[in-house]
Amino acid sequence: MTESYLLSIILFAPFVGAAVLIFVSNRQALLVRQIAAFFSGLSFLASFILLFAFDWQKGGYQFQQKYVWSEQLGIQFYLGVDGIGVPMVLASSILLFAGVFISWHIKDRTKEFYAFLLILAGATIGVYVAYYARDTKYVIGYSSSSHMGYVFLGMAALDYISLSGAVLYMFAHSLATGMLFAMAGWVYDQTHSRDIPSLGGLMTKMPFVAGCFIVACMASIGMPGTVNFVAEIMIVLGSWARYPVQTIIAVLGIVLTMAYLFRMMRGLFYGQLSELGHHAHDARDWYDRLPLLVMIFSSVLFGIFPGRMLNVIRSGVDPILARIMEVAPVVTQAGGTINP
């Protein structure tokens, strides 16, 4: 019975938390944080339950809730999720939950700014700009834009493997980028600078954050053991038969991604400690470390055990391919075809 209301819990838990906070004084900082953590955690937990409760063999839209508000005006409240939507819901809930904890130690003058960064990585030019950018948020933002090319390649190939990989990659990329933005926010909060050449040597001051940054970079380039690797392999294998040249370019793009992310990592955490970093400190408390560990755990979990997620995604991809088959043949696994 509870499963019927999972989507409502996921959707409205943060709103209920916000409503409760109206009646709490902003002077009670700890209580505000605890309430925000509880309701965002409720949404996060419900999203994980949603993933494992989704019947991928049945497919289609599930957990539907429909309430007619006005028959005359055709207004209704209608919720439902398919196999493609489930990973996106889970990714949003993970980032929301992590964002609550990340904001605990970011000063009031910067909270809104980094909340915006977690939601939107600005779209701009590819790899060249990212490599030469001096600002940490620009490097990560440009990286996010360039990574979307993999999603478009997987979608364009219209192959079962590539299309499933594209959906999985959107989930994977949101976790990796969320981690990078979170740690860029921590570095800025401690040094009051985002200028990479002005920083350096922070590994000695914040080894935990630096270690998580390395993991996030490795996930972003598709290191085996992370969900990004599974998604990238699926996109490459599924797109090869139809777009071999573009696929080769995409693979080369992984090398370029490694170049500018590692360049940023070296500029921030290695070399001589800069003056701006003398008073910086690491994420020591559990509530500072928890959001990063949650995102890392999720990336590794679905990187090692992607089966459940892929089954759910398949239930959403299959109907799309079936619809396309009504119009034209589609290149599928191993370069074969499905005839209309």
Which residues are paired to 120 by β-bridges? none
In this prediction, residue 328 carries a pLDDT of 62
In this prediction, residue 131 carries a pLDDT of 62
Q: What span, in angstroms and rounded, lies between the C-alpha atoms of 79 and 233? A: 33
Is the separation of the CB atoms in 21 and 29 below 8 Å? no
Q: What span, in angstroms and rounded, lies between the C-alpha atoms of 259 and 253? A: 10
Q: Which among 241, 243, 181, 270 has a CA at the least distance from the CA of 217?
A: 181
Helix, strand, or coil (residue 337): strand
In this prediction, residue 326 carries a pLDDT of 75
Q: What span, in angstroms and rounded, lies between the C-alpha atoms of 257 and 304? A: 23
Question: In tens digits, what is the pLDDT along the chain, a chain of 340 residues?
Answer: 456 788 888 888 888 988 888 888 878 878 888 888 899 889 989 998 999 999 988 888 888 888 887 777 777 888 888 888 888 888 888 888 887 776 665 554 654 444 434 444 433 346 555 666 778 887 887 777 778 888 888 888 888 899 999 999 999 999 999 899 889 988 998 999 888 888 989 999 999 999 999 999 999 988 999 999 999 999 999 999 888 888 888 888 788 888 888 889 999 999 899 889 888 989 888 888 988 999 999 999 999 999 999 999 999 998 888 887 776 654 444 444 433 3
> Domain ranges in the chain?
101-334
User: How do strand 75-81 and strand 330-331 relate by DSSP bridges?
Assistant: unpaired
